[in-house]
Amino acid sequence: MHDWYAHALCSGADPELFFPLANVAEAREAKRICFDCPVRTQCLDHALNHPERDGIWAGTSARERRRLRTNRSTHPERSSP
């Protein structure tokens, strides 16, 4: 696992919470946990640069990450800090 994951708020939570099967309430709870996570940036970077196609990562759904990847490839200047 990645070094940053040891500091992730989700590391002690039920993993199923972050992989909801069409359960909007669970997705909302997972996103709430992600909101205050100290490694949210590293998590999002991981999810965008690896094939994380399912679940909630850094408070984003699979659909939101697809949109971010598309924006990143269409407008690479926007993906720079």
For 61-71, the pLDDT digits (tens) are 988 999 998 88
Q: How confident is the model over 8-67, as pLDDT tens digits?
A: 999 988 888 898 887 777 888 999 999 999 999 999 999 998 878 889 999 999 889 999
- What is the domain range of residue 63? 3-79
What long-range pairs does 50-59 form, CB within 8 A, spacing at least 24?
A: 54/19, 55/18, 55/19, 56/18, 56/19, 56/20, 56/27, 56/30, 56/31, 57/18, 58/34, 59/30, 59/31, 59/34, 59/35
DSSP 18: G
pTM: 0.80
pLDDT value of residue 81? 43
Our count of domains for the chain comes to 1
